[in-house]
Chain A
Amino acid sequence: MEFITQTTADGATRLTIEGELSIYDAAEIKHRLIEGIRGAAVFELDLSHVGVMDSAGFQLLTLAKRESQELGHALRIVGHSPAVREVIEFFNMVAYFGDPLVIPAGEQS
């Protein structure tokens, strides 16, 4: 589990998560996400390196999204790993997050 925080060229805070978005690190992830969203007007999440996401992880993403909406901040998921994309699509929540699902070249089935 690795969290990398950086600031992008247009001033947004970008959190890149590597590893699993799952119940095992749920507390840690929640903390990082909420902290991130509260601390930045534009918060970007790069999930392109997330290998596994379970319901707990998904739940935390929706929490983050809701929190951002309540604060009037923007949450953008800028990279979806196949695992993340699959779960969001399965739950029919693509529209809720409103982020373009970027399908990397060569991955289209």
Chain B
Amino acid sequence: MDEILSVFSVEAREQLDAMEAGLLQLERGDRDAETINAVFRAAHTIKGGAGVVEIASIEHFTHVLENVLDRLRNGEIAVDSEMISALLLGCDHISALLDAVQSGQLGPDAELDTAGAAIADQLRPFLDGNAPAARGGALTADGGDEADLQRSDRASATNDCWHISIRFGRGVLRNGMDPLAFLRYLLNLGEIVHITTLCDAMPDADSMDPEACYLGFEISFRSHASKEAIERVFEFCRDDCELFILPPNSKLDEFIALIEALPEETMRLGEILIKSGALTREELDSGLHQQQAAGVAAGATAAPPPLGNILVERNSVQPELVEAAAAKQRTVSEKKTAESSLIRVHADKLDQLIDLVGELVIAGAATNLLAKKSGEAALVEATSVLSRLVESIRDSALQLRMVQIGETFNRFHRVARDVSRELGKEIELVINGGETELDKSVVEKIGDPLMHLVRNAMDHGIESAAARAAAGKPATGRVELNAFHDSGSIVIEVGDDGGGLDKLRIQAKAIERGLLQANETLSDQDVVNLIFEPGFSTVDKVSNLSGRGVGMDVVKKNITALRGSVDVRTEPGAGSRFIIRLPLTLAIIDGFLVGVGRASYVIPLDMVVECIDLGDAGGDRNYLNLRGEVLPFVRLRELFEVPGQPPSRENVVVVQYAGQKAGIVVDQLLGEFQTVIKPLGTLFRNMRGIGGSTILGSGEVALILDVQALIGRCAKSEEQRAHGNTGSRRLEAH
């Protein structure tokens, strides 16, 4: 895909997000003018961008949205949720069109066109004048907006043209200026779609002054230039001509005002405007009709003021133009400030930088090692400064990839809205910790699992309003999205205050599906964890949203693939909470280097709590007493079957993950170490207990321990011991 197209789609998606957020805000009752303006501007920017990259489908469709938003902005229609729904659908449609563009399909697509037309139909009522009006404007004769839609419906590009009306003054030619030259110069700014030459001002042959200029023009002009730029073309004769410039998509009444302001006869001008494509005949008729009606109405109270009216109308043209020009300037300057504080960088470049920093970290570690061996104080000092700087570089490089999760969270406002409508439940979405940062690559991958969890919470978690009332809960269900940092990982919680998971039903279903033997007994937690088994779903009725039995296992798989974990806490009647833990970044970690035999292993430093001497506590058991607490541990030597005898003094590294503690027994503690995570080959993908590999300063390979898996292992064996049976073995084996 072209660069310009990709820039356009990225920007358009940003604008779409802004639009959606604004629309939802409007629906929630925030009728702030600035919000409406922001939504309008977003639509306008998308349309403009689409025009520049010449994607007519998006341009035309967005135009329809823009018309509705414009009426909203002018207070001609009031916000109602039906309209917001239709507008949101419109956003979706634009997004679909963008997808089509991004997949390289530039031509029209019949299916999408039909979908677009259907949405346009839904929007139609809001464009018609009979929608509830919310204003009582007196001066400007409004209306003609229904015609506005017809114009946009026609989907021809002519309605995106400027309309220029110019009547040159008598002295123009005599002053050495030639109208022809001005108009030719206009071609530098754009394309003259249609021009009508008017010589009506020319008197009869005898009194006609051959050196005077009687020419006038009605021009339909397609250009992306600003109004100032167009005006500047006529700068030299500005004082000696009558110039009217109507921006693209001007309102019908502005055209009517123009017709009245110009010296030629109304009907003749109307014909010209029709011919030049600025107006359709219906538009003209309805506009003129409205005008007459307004005149009659005005006549009832005051004397019919045709001339005064013309003057007023003439004045009313200008503020509109000024406003259009000012709005344009404003968006330009806004864009500029946004641009100066943000630089768009290709993600590949960033990845490359991180890669290089990773190599730098490894090389730095090697230098450090050599310096220490050499024993030269000055060299050691220099390298330690160096490694500190490398550390800072690493942190800032990783920081570049960090994005706030809030953006991802905000998408769910829309989901909550749609789902609650679909299900007829009142659901409130509460977001906490949106400013929590995590790696962009993680954010991208967490979106889908989160979506599923949120939908599940709304669909299965929150009970129907009646059930809630019976349980004495507030009618509005509550779904919470929380994010916070916790010992080197980010924790994302999806909680609801619904009915909680029904353990008995889960168990029954698991037995029915053959996931569980009827006589097996499981701990409560294990029962709940069954929902992550492939093909498990307890809902008998398959809804549109979830309940198709694909999902929770996929959610778990996706999260595990990110080196994360997902847990469920549930309480009958009070709701359930899904807790996702993810590493902050996928690339570099601070590690704690330990040695077993001749091999080295890395434990992520964030998870290390303390190191203690194993002493005599070990023996044959695999747990020890840590200040009165039972601490299960694993011996790496046994786990990885490292040959050789353990040294007389063994050490225990106490690690913590997700609130659980465990010990890892190693031979030596080798200290902190910056680690660039290198993925293991596909051959080792399914190996438990190892998260990746890294290269030490000496060039040796060290394996990075997957603490989560190790803790899980410890916890399991402890639980088995506690229960004295092997009930959970099945689960472990999947």
Contacts and interface: CB of A to CB of B under 8 A. Distances in A.
B210 A60 contact: yes
B173 A63 contact: no
Contact of A56 (B183, B196, B213): B213
Interface stretch (A2-10, A39-47, A86-94, A98-106): A86-94
Nearest to B197: A91
The listed residue with most A CB atoms (<10 A of its CB), out of B174, B199, B215, is: B199
B215 A55 contact: yes
A67 B208 CA distance: 11
B199 A59 contact: yes
26 contacts: A23-B173, A23-B174, A26-B173, A26-B211, A27-B211, A29-B210, A30-B208, A55-B173, A55-B178, A55-B179, A56-B173, A56-B178, A56-B213, A59-B202, A59-B214, A60-B210, A62-B202, A63-B202, A63-B205, A63-B208, A91-B195, A91-B197, A92-B194, A92-B195, A92-B196, A96-B197
A104 to B, nearest CB: 23
A91 B219 CA distance: 10
A90 B211 contact: no
Contacts of A87: 180
Interface in A5-50: 23, 26-27, 29-30, 34
A55 B199 CA distance: 11
A90 B173 contact: no
Interface of A: 23, 26-27, 29-30, 34, 54-56, 58-60, 62-63, 66-67, 87, 90-93, 96
Interface of A is mostly: helix
Interface of B is mostly: loop
A25 to B, nearest CB: 9
Given A56-B213, A59-B214, 8 more contacts: A26-B211, A54-B180, A56-B178, A56-B210, A59-B210, A60-B210, A63-B205, A90-B184
B198 to A, nearest CB: 10
Contacts of A63: 199, 202, 205, 208
A98 B183 CA distance: 23
Interface in B343-390: none
Given A30-B208, A63-B208, A90 B199 contact: no
A52 B282 CA distance: 42
Interface in B125-180: 173-174, 178-180
B211 A23 contact: yes
B269 to A, nearest CB: 16
Contact of B197 (A54, A56, A66, A92): A92
Interface residues of B, number: 21
Nearest to B208: A63
Contacts of A34: 205
Contacts of A29: 210
A23 B199 CA distance: 17
A62 B474 CA distance: 81
Contacts of A58: 180, 215
Ordered nearest first, which 9 A-B pairs have the shortest CB separation? A26-B210, A30-B210, A91-B197, A55-B180, A55-B179, A67-B205, A62-B199, A92-B195, A55-B178
A91 B184 CA distance: 10
A55 B213 CA distance: 8
A62 B183 CA distance: 18
Interface in B203-242: 205, 208, 210-211, 213-215, 217
A66 B202 contact: yes
Contacts of B183: 90
The listed residue with most A CB atoms (<10 A of its CB), out of B174, B183, B197, B214, is: B197
A30 B173 CA distance: 15
Contact of A93 (B180, B197, B202, B214): B197
Contacts of B208: 30, 63
A60 B215 CA distance: 11
Contacts of B214: 59
Nearest to A22: B178
A26 B178 CA distance: 13
A79 B410 CA distance: 71
Contacts of B179: 55
B272 to A, nearest CB: 11
Contacts of A91: 195, 197, 217
